[in-house]
Amino acid sequence: MQGLIGKKVGMTSVFNDEGKNIPCTVIEAGPCVITQIKTKEKDGYEAVQVGFDEKREKNTSKGMKGHFSKASTTPKRKLVEFSGFEDNLKLGDVLTVDLFNDDNWLDVRGIAKGKGFQGVVKRYNFKGVGDATHGQHNRLRAPGSLGASSYPSRVFKGMRMAGRMGGQKVAVLNLRIIKIVSEENLLILKGSVPGPNGSYLIITK
């Protein structure tokens, strides 16, 4: 799918023509540089590698410096492959937010915020507080029974228990474009996207 790499700026809200307040996310989408073009003959598949966000040269390995020099560009911090570009693109070409238009609906992928170790009430929305009578003691947020004892005498895989929450890949599909600010490479989408402010996002049509 055609797309760009972006960075989450933050959330805001705008009023539409009917006067409704719409929650939105502001994303810095591009400019992205084409750093490699993969072909079936050489790589076994067709794709375009795109780079985004400047990286210090002293923090870049010699191998990656050579990789970026082939595209006549500076080192980039984030590299992602996309497929489905219909235009004849060349190494070093720059893709901007103008790749999208107001009629497009976009999918956004990112890494969700990490929540650390959490219990079942927060992680899986368990009820937690039960009936305060009938022998209830101090087990207000406990998960309860994990299984029978004599059989099967084990805990089944996938049992919902306490553990690390967040930090996984999340995709939000079919977000509507509210506004495109081409001069500043900003994309304003309806709703929320995964990750904290400043995190990288993969935006595809």
Give the predicted TM-score (pTM) of the model. 0.83
Q: How far apart (Å, rounded) are the C-alpha atoms in residues 28 and 90? A: 23
Q: Is the pLDDT of residue 83 over 90?
A: no
Determine the average pLDDT of the residues in 120-126: 92
The tokens describing 30, both together, are: 């591009």
- What is the sign of the dihedral through the CA atoms of 118, 119, 124 and 127? negative
Query: pLDDT exceeding 70 applies to what percent of the chain?
Result: 95
Reported confidence tier of residue 133, pLDDT bands at 50, 70, 90: low
* pLDDT of amino acid 25: 95
Determine the average pLDDT of the residues in 150-157: 92
> For 24-68, how does the pLDDT look when each residue is reduced to its tens digit (9 = 90+)?
999 999 799 999 998 889 989 889 999 998 999 899 899 999 999
* pLDDT of amino acid 141: 84
* pLDDT of amino acid 131: 65
Mean pLDDT of the chain: 89
* pLDDT of amino acid 56: 92
Q: How far apart (Å, rounded) are the C-alpha atoms in residues 139 and 156? A: 22
For the chain, give every domain's residue range.
3-115+170-204, 116-166
* pLDDT of amino acid 136: 64
Of all residues in the chain, what percent are helix, strand and coil, respectively (each to 5)? Answer: 15, 40, 45
Determine the average pLDDT of the residues in 67-78: 90
Q: Is the pLDDT of residue 189 over 80?
A: yes
In the CATH hierarchy, which fold is given to the domain comprising 3-115+170-204?
Answer: Elongation Factor Tu (Ef-tu); domain 3 (2.40.30)
- 3 state SS of 119: coil
Kindly report which listed range (54-68, 77-91, 128-142, 188-202) carries the lowest average pLDDT score. 128-142
Range 26-54 burial, b when 16+ CB lie within 10 A, else e: bbbbbebbbbbbeeeeeeeeebbbbbbee
* pLDDT of amino acid 117: 97
Q: Is the pLDDT of residue 79 over 90?
A: yes
* pLDDT of amino acid 188: 93
Reported confidence tier of residue 10, pLDDT bands at 50, 70, 90: very high
* pLDDT of amino acid 103: 83
Reported confidence tier of residue 92, pLDDT bands at 50, 70, 90: confident
Q: Do the Cβ atoms of 51 and 76 come closer than 8 Å?
A: yes
